[in-house]
Structure 1
């Protein structure tokens, strides 16, 4: 299934810390089956950690992770049931938090959000 270049991997995650590790594993396995570079895998794992963490901290309900193969890379989508949009904030050097979306922006070719009937999708496209 994962060898199919058009394959999509979809996983439901609970809103708890262990879900970030599961999300990284899903991204790694999908990228490996698609023959994507190790550098892309590393960036995608960091991006998915930030997106899932935001879903846990600021979202509602279960989180759905969708990873899709795209020409030159992959698309990572995180769905949650909160309509609140992520905020790209200036970095506060005195705060240990608040850099997640800055990292997503820096590592992605592009990223964005899509409102849905029940919440939103935050997505990031990564390329080698």
Structure 2
């Protein structure tokens, strides 16, 4: 695949970024160069004035869960979010990314954003789907359905923002003082 790109993770593994470099931008519902649901972030999080902000748009494919997770972890480390807080960011980001791939609109892009200030880190994942995530309390033997229960239990706050043009953003926040 001549259009594939690769990058090395902090641990030395190679990640292959699938598809052409502009595929994710072209796949964004409504066009443009921002993640799906590029509306303002949900209220109550780090504001633009004092926050470090980064975002990426990924294709809505299974490989994007790992790529997005590694990207979020690296961005968090660059912002000084390390140790246990970084591990929780990694786990919860993975859950939101997996939900976006599994339950979002097939073939559309996934937007990932991280915001950080001195007090809070917020990760947002946007997709073209309209179905809001549900916190399930499955039996221990159930093979799946625990992702949002993990997000609810381990985040300080989480929520969903529906977008007027379709799609949604699911986000979580961690208060850094808790770590």
> Could you tell me the TM-score, scaled by structure 2's length?
0.65
1:122 to 170, 174, 177: 170
SS in 1 for 2:55: strand
Determine the structure 2 residue equivalent to 1:102: 149
Q: CA-atom RMSD, angstroms? A: 1.3
The residue number in structure 1 matching 2:131 is: 84
The worse-fitting range, judged by mean Cα deviation, of 14-23 and 75-84 is 14-23
The partner residue of 1:23 within 49, 58, 68 is: 68
Match of 1:70 in 2: 117
- Does the CA contact (< 8 Å) of 1:40 and 1:73 recur in 2? no
The number of residue pairs the alignment matches comes to: 124
> Counterparts of 1:8 and 1:98 in 2: how far apart (Å)?
30
Partner of 1:113: 160
CA distance in 2, matches of 1:22, 1:73: 23
**What's 2:88 paired with?**
43
Unaligned runs of 5+ in 2: 1-49
Pick 1 or 2: higher relative contact order, CA cutoff 8 A, min separation 6.
1
TM-score (norm 1): 0.90
Runs in 1 of length 4+ with deviation above 3 angstroms? none
Structure number with bigger Rg = 2
Question: Which is helix-richer, 1 or 2?
Answer: 1
Displacement of 1:16 in angstroms is 1.7
Q: If each structure's strand is expressed as a fraction of its own residues, which one has the higher value?
A: 1
The CA deviation at 1:28 is 1.4
Q: SS at the partner of 2:142?
A: coil
